Structure 1
C-alpha cells in the first residue's frame, strides 16, 4: 500500500519548522509525503487539497489553549483517505489553515492506523514540490528511485545529395575542437523521442525536418548528476535547406558530404562515433533498417504512445492484413 500526502500550499503557520523538536511537524513550503505499505506497489497519485474527517480547522493564529482543545477533539480521528486501484490510499488536502499540533496529532493517528510508523526521508524535488516518503512495512524498502535516466537524441539529417547536417558547438567538450557533429539534445519531460529530434534540429540549425527512423541507441551510467543516460540516434529527412543557426549555442553549421564527416579523425578515433557512422552509411546504402514510430494505445490508458518497430512488421487485425 502507498499513502501519498501532498501539500501544494501554505496550510500551516509560516513559522512552522519541519520535524522540529517541538510539536510542529510540517513545513510551510509545498511538500509531498508518501507512505508505502505493500512491497513492490507504487502508484502516482495527484491531489491538491486537505480533506479531514471534519471540515473545520484552526487558524494559524489560534492560541495554544485553543490548539490543545482542538487536538483533544481530534484525537480519535484520522486523515480522510480514499483507496486507489493499487491498494494504496490518497489523502487529499485543502487550502484551509491547520494548526501544526492538530495536524501532527492527526498524522500520528493516521500513521498508527496505517502501520504504526512515523518518519520520512527525501525522495526527490521538483520546482513546484518536495517529495518525502516513508516505507511502513518491516521489510526491505523497494520504493523505486526517481528519474534514473536522462534521455538524449542525436539527429542524422541527410539530404538527396548524401550531405549531412552538422554543427560545431560553442560550449561543452567539443568547444574549440573543430569537430563537426550531428545536432544533439535532451528530450524534454513529456516529449516523444521523434518530436525531440525534430525540435533540436530546428532549434540548432533552423532546418525543418521529418522524423524517419530510430537507428540505434546507447546506454551509459554515472553520467550527468550520477544518473544513467540513454542516447537515441535518429534519422531525419530535411524539409528545408537554408541554415539559420542558433547563435547562443552553435559556432557553425553546414551541409557536409557524409564521407567527409565520417573521415574526421575524431569520429574514426572513437568506437561509439565510428559505429554510429557505419550504421548511418549502411542505412544510406539500403543495408540497414531502423525502427519507425507506430502510434499505439493500451488497455490501461487511452493516451497515445509510440512503439518503435520495423515498418514491415504487420500485426494481427491491422489494416495491412490481407
Structure 2
C-alpha cells in the first residue's frame, strides 16, 4: 500500500497535512497524494490544507493537477487547499487587507513632525507629511507607530490615541487597505528629541508649525484629509 501523507484534523472537519511527511520525489508524491485523497474522502473530510515548503516546490504541479488551489504564500512556503465536497467551498480566503498607520507627533511649540519620502507615490513632489508605514506581522498599531517614528526620524515617542481610520480597496496586488492615524507623545530628554533622518527612506525631516501643516496644499484640498485634520485639531485642543 502507498504511504499516506500524515497530519491532523482541524476543528472544521478538515485535514492539515504535515509538511514533513510530503514526499519530495515527484512520482512518490503523486502516489501518496492519490492514496491520501481517497482516505480523506472516505473519512468525510472537507477542506484539505497542504503546506509545501520551498524545498519541495518542484512537486506543487502534481497537487494542482489533482484539484488543489493556491491559497497564500510566504517566503518559506506555499499553502495549497482543496475542498473535497461537491458543495460550495467554505474555506476562509487569504488575508484581505494590509494595515498601515500615520503618526501625528507635536512638540511643545505646536510644531508637527513631518517628512518627505525618497520613494513612493509622493517622491519628488516636495510634499511634507506625517511619518507613515505598514504594520508588521504580530505588531500592534501602537508599536508600529512608535517604531516608524523612531526609524524614520530618530524621535522617541509613545502611543497616546487613535485619531482616525479609513478603509480603501484595490491597493497592493488587489488587497484592501486599512489606515490608522495615531497620536504619539514625545519622551522627555534631549536625546529623545534629536532629529536623525533615515536617509534610505527619506529626503527630509523637520518640525513644521501646526497651521502650516494643516495648510499643505496636497492634503488641505482633499476631503479625507480634511476629516483627519479636524480630528487632529480636536485632539490638540483637548476636545477629541
Q: Where on the TM-score scale, by shorter chain, does this alignment land: which range?
A: 0.7 to 0.9
TM-score (norm 1): 0.61
Q: Which residue of 2 aligns with 1:210?
A: 158
The structure that has the greater radius of gyration is: 1
Does the residue aligned with 2:229 lie in a helix, a strand or coil? helix
Structure 2 alignment gaps of length 5 or more? 47-65
Does the residue aligned with 1:275 lie in a helix, a strand or coil? helix
* C-alpha separation in 2, matches of 1:155 and 1:268: 17
Q: Which residue of 2 aligns with 1:242?
A: 194
Q: Which residue of 1 aligns with 2:204?
A: 252
Change (3 A) 1:128 1:168: same
Give the structure, 1 or 2, with the largest relative contact order (CA under 8 Å, sep 6 or more). Answer: 2
Q: Which residue of 1 aligns with 2:220?
A: 268
> RMSD value over aligned CA atoms?
2.2
Q: Which residue of 1 aligns with 2:97?
A: 149
User: Map of 1:101-180 to 2, 5 A cutoff?
Assistant: 101-115=27-41, 118-180=66-128
Q: Which residue of 2 aligns with 1:198?
A: 146
Change (3 A) 1:95 1:119: closer
Question: Deviation of residue 94 (structure 1)?
Answer: 3.6
Contact 2:106 2:112 in 1 (8 A): yes
Report how many residues are paired: 214
Change (3 A) 1:105 1:283: same
User: Map of 1:87-106 to 2, 5 A cutoff?
Assistant: 87-94=13-20, 100-106=26-32
Does the residue aligned with 1:115 lie in a helix, a strand or coil? helix
Question: Deviation of residue 140 (structure 1)?
Answer: 1.4
Structure 1 alignment gaps of length 5 or more? 1-73, 289-322
Does the residue aligned with 2:193 lie in a helix, a strand or coil? coil
Q: Which residue of 2 aligns with 1:66?
A: none
* C-alpha separation in 2, matches of 1:128 and 1:93: 12
More helix by share: 2
| Superposed CA offset, 1:127-165 (max 9, x none) | 101111111111112322212111100000112222110
Change (3 A) 1:90 1:120: closer
* C-alpha separation in 1, matches of 2:74 and 2:143: 24
